[in-house]
Structure 1
Amino acid sequence: MIVDDFKNIRSYASLLPQLENGLEAIRDAASLEVGRYEFEGGHFMIQEGDTKPLGEGTFEAHRHFIDVQILLDGEEEIAWQELADLTTAIPYDEKSDKERFDGRRDHHMLVSEGMFWAAFPRDGHKAISHVDAPHHYRKIVMKLPVSA
């Protein structure tokens, strides 16, 4: 998993296939409505809402896409766990490219406006969470293909 300031995102281009196409596609994302948008080599979604307690819900992981999540406004707390330390809660679904997991939430951190994080297929991640009080957020969730 990568967590960094958005101004540094291009330094990870060798790890994030189609990143440049994705960055070009989201150039005007701040003015876009909530929804899904396609670009050559991937897609992105604009999401907005309020976080849920960290203890609720499950981790997720993807096999075919890398999640790159960019906080446009507000903040969220995210949890991370190595897949080997998680147990399957909902089996992998090819259509959504998602498997859900249960496990300990020992590793978590606050991600604020102007930051991004990237989760690779080996990263169990739980987003849109809070520990103490709810946060409001608006973010981009970019899906970039895993290199063959």
Structure 2
Amino acid sequence: MIVAPLSEFGTYLNLHPLFERVEQALITLDFSKPGEKIYIDGENLIAIPSFNKARSAGEAPLESHDKYIDIQICLQGEETMGWRERQTCSAIKEPYNSDNDITFYSDHPTCFITLKPNQFAIFFPSDCHAPLIGEGFIKKVVFKVKLAM
């Protein structure tokens, strides 16, 4: 997991060939239509803007992904996310769904981070995360970056 201000995103461009496209998309794309997937490079790079009511930590299950890296960027509000190392999760709540590339767990996070507007978190397949914890509404965009291209 990586957490940083959006102004430092360029520091991480060398972690994946598509991260540079993410940086360009942040400058050029409109994220005002929540729930509408934006295909930037087919299934290799997708942006999903959202505007959701926050939930309590107890309502936010840990999740993990096998095929994609998540780059979650807070645009408005404050979003707390739970985190736990995937290899320590043992209680599967919902088994892997290959169509949505997601597994849900009943395990609890071992720590929490809070993103303010213009901050981001990068979650790799080795990270479990529980998003959308907080109060009020959270506007964000999630970039799904395919591991193997």
Do both share a fold (TM > 0.5)?
yes
> Which residue of 2 is the match for residue 135 of structure 1?
136
> Which residue of 2 is the match for residue 114 of structure 1?
118
Q: How far apart, in 2, do the equivalents of 1:79 and 1:138 lie?
A: 18
CA RMSD of aligned residues (A): 1.6
> Which residue of 2 is the match for residue 53 of structure 1?
56
Q: How far apart, in 2, do the equivalents of 1:16 and 1:128 lie?
A: 25
Q: How far apart, in 2, do the equivalents of 1:92 and 1:2 lie?
A: 24
**CA contact under 8 A between 1:48 and 1:139: conserved in structure 2?**
yes
State the AA in 2 paired with 1:12: Y
Q: Does 1:13 align with 2:16?
A: no
Deviation at 1:31, TM superposition (A): 5.4
1:62 to 48, 62, 65: 65
Deviation at 1:28, TM superposition (A): 3.9
1:103 to 101, 107, 117: 107
Q: How far apart, in 1, do the equivalents of 2:69 and 2:6 lie?
A: 16
- Decide which structure has greater strand share: 1
Structure 1 unaligned residues grouped into runs of 5+: none
> Which residue of 1 is the match for residue 129 of structure 2?
125
TM-score normalised by structure 2 residue count: 0.89
**CA contact under 8 A between 2:74 and 2:115: conserved in structure 1?**
yes
Aligned positions of 1:27-46 closer than 5 A: 27-30=27-30, 32-34=32-34, 35-40=36-41, 41-46=44-49
**CA contact under 8 A between 1:16 and 1:66: conserved in structure 2?**
no
Deviation at 1:137, TM superposition (A): 1.2
Q: How far apart, in 1, do the equivalents of 2:48 and 2:80 lie?
A: 19
Q: Cα deviation per residue 1:23-69 (whole Å; 9 max; x = unaligned)? A: 22232445531121010231011100221000113111001100001
> Which residue of 1 is the match for residue 97 of structure 2?
93
Q: How far apart, in 2, do the equivalents of 1:98 and 1:138 lie?
A: 21
Deviation at 1:70, TM superposition (A): 0.8
Q: How far apart, in 2, do the equivalents of 1:17 and 1:72 lie?
A: 24
Q: How far apart, in 1, do the equivalents of 2:31 and 2:84 lie?
A: 33
**CA contact under 8 A between 1:76 and 1:135: conserved in structure 2?**
no
TM-score normalised by structure 1 residue count: 0.90
Task: State the identity as a percent.
Answer: 23
State the AA in 1 paired with 2:141: I
Q: How far apart, in 1, do the equivalents of 2:112 and 2:95 lie?
A: 24
Q: How far apart, in 1, do the equivalents of 2:136 and 2:17 lie?
A: 31
Structure 2 unaligned residues grouped into runs of 5+: none
